[in-house]
A and B are shown apart, each in its own frame.
Chain A
Amino acid sequence: MTTALAFEALLALLLLWSAWQTLATPQMDRAVIMFIVFGLLLTLVWSRLQAPDIALAEAALGAGLTGTLLLDALTAFRQPNRSAKHGRVLAAFRRFPALLALLLLAAALLTSLTRLPLPAVDLPAAVAGQLGSSGVSHPVTAVLLNFRGYDTLLEVAVLLLALTGILAVGLPAERPLLSLNQLVPTLARSAVPLMVLAAFYLLWAGAHRPGGAFQAAAVLAAAAVLLNLSQLQSRWLPTQHWIRLVVGAGLLLFVGIAAALLAGGGLLRFPPGQAGLLILLIESGLTVSLAVNLAAFYLLRTSSSGQWAGQEDSHE
């Protein structure tokens, strides 16, 4: 018992410390590294909290995609790496009221945790009770795609929307760093097939154990990013046109199934008999389109065609 507590306490301290370092270290490079470390520690926390689905998503997105996106953005800032601010103490005092408010908020939040009422609604029991008619046997997947599938539908729209927003912001014309290092292509040759395999495994696993479309898509997207970093795929790089079609098709498939189920009496109302099959269909479609969507966050900005504000791919 005490070992468990010591483990958790140390994990908590490390998490807070890496978070603090992310904000406080003067160099942006180090800040991003500390953030990636933070993501790793957070994966451990989620595992400790018996939330392997979240741990998977955090591991795949945090370590793979977000970190790469952040480092890529730093590369675009071609200027000395240091933060401009040096008079930190002085700046802090100027912002004293805000800091005070934040401290008060922290104190109030921590105090409130000591006197929580007992939940009046027992939702885990409700989920367990209806799990049989949800079409899948893993409760998190049941919530994500059946009980609260509408949230997931909107969430897929948020991802597509973010991609639209990025296109609206405009893409840089230049290509970022080239690699002359032989290590990366070698690594990519062995890792990418494994990653694709892992993605399909996660997709398949989602129905009855932790995993599912999002985690699978994140791993696939990471594979695409690795291919891009390794420069193996220069002939393969999809045009913006195809990216848009695939990403849009995933959302349309989801909306289409949701709307078709209206005939049965409700939006996303899966008939218990076909629920498993329909959820698998949605998840498979989403895996591909979400993977392309996530990868596009990175790949679009490295495609060689493009100008700031209003670019068009050559295929149109």
Chain B
Amino acid sequence: MSSGLLFAAVGCLLLVLGVGGVLLLDHLVRRILAFNLMGSGIFLVLVGLAQRSGRIDPVPQAMVLTGIVVSVAATALALALARRRYADSGSTTLQDKARREDRHD
């Protein structure tokens, strides 16, 4: 097993862990952390698979650099929203209120 494939497999597990975290956890900061884990997992799959034969591939590496910057941007925006949500309602989750909003039209 090449190191590329090994870390691609680790990436798959991280991705699943992250998706589960974003979907199933409550605390907003925790969900943002999970989103970052998910992103890192995908990046590992991208580079790991491309380099599974041991040869360096600059293209996915450049793509991951782009991806990292995009996820930093998304993280910053998500944290701003989480802080605003807390300032408005004192809640660090989406659950309580949102459920009701969905029901009522």
Contact = CB atoms under 8 A, between A and B. Distances in A.
Interface of A: 4, 8-9, 12, 15-16, 19-20, 22-23, 28, 31-32, 35, 38, 42, 45-46, 48-51, 53-54, 57-58, 61, 65-66, 69-70, 72-74, 76-77, 79, 83-85, 95, 98-99, 102-103, 105-106, 109-110, 113, 116, 119, 123-124, 127, 139-140, 142-144, 147-148, 151-152, 155, 158-159, 161-163, 165-166, 169-170, 172, 214, 294, 297, 301, 308-309
Contacts of A123: 57, 59
Given A28-B27, A144-B62, A162 B77 contact: yes
Given A51-B64, A140-B65, A28 B17 contact: no
B75 A49 contact: no
Contacts of A19: 14, 17-18, 37
Given A143-B62, A162-B73, A308-B84, A32 B9 contact: no
B91 to A, nearest CB: 10
Nearest to A74: B29
B56 interface: yes
A295 B67 CA distance: 18
B3 A49 contact: yes
Nearest to A162: B73
Contacts of B40: 38, 42
Contacts of A163: 76
Contact of B93 (A61, A84, A95, A297): A84
Interface in B1-47: 3-10, 12-21, 23-27, 29-30, 32-34, 36-37, 40, 43-44, 47
B97 interface: no
B13 to A, nearest CB: 6
A12 B6 contact: yes
Interface of B: 3-10, 12-21, 23-27, 29-30, 32-34, 36-37, 40, 43-44, 47-52, 55-59, 61-66, 68-70, 72-77, 79-84, 86-88, 90, 92-93
Contacts of A23: 17, 20-21, 25, 30, 33-34, 37
Contact of A166 (B29, B62, B69, B76): B76
Contacts of A61: 68-69, 72
A204 B97 CA distance: 51
Given A54-B65, A140-B58, A12 B36 contact: no
A42 B43 CA distance: 11
Nearest to A118: B53
B65 A76 contact: no
Contact of B83 (A32, A83, A172, A309): A172
A109 to B, nearest CB: 4
A84 B66 contact: no
A162 B76 contact: yes
Contacts of B70: 155, 158
Nearest to A143: B62
B86 A77 contact: yes
Of B32, B37, B51, B80, the most chain A CB neighbours within 10 A belong to B80
B68 A57 contact: yes
A72 B50 CA distance: 36
B22 to A, nearest CB: 10
A124 B47 contact: no
Contacts of B14: 15-16, 19
Contacts of B80: 165-166, 169, 301
Given A28-B27, A148-B59, A152-B66, A116 B17 contact: no
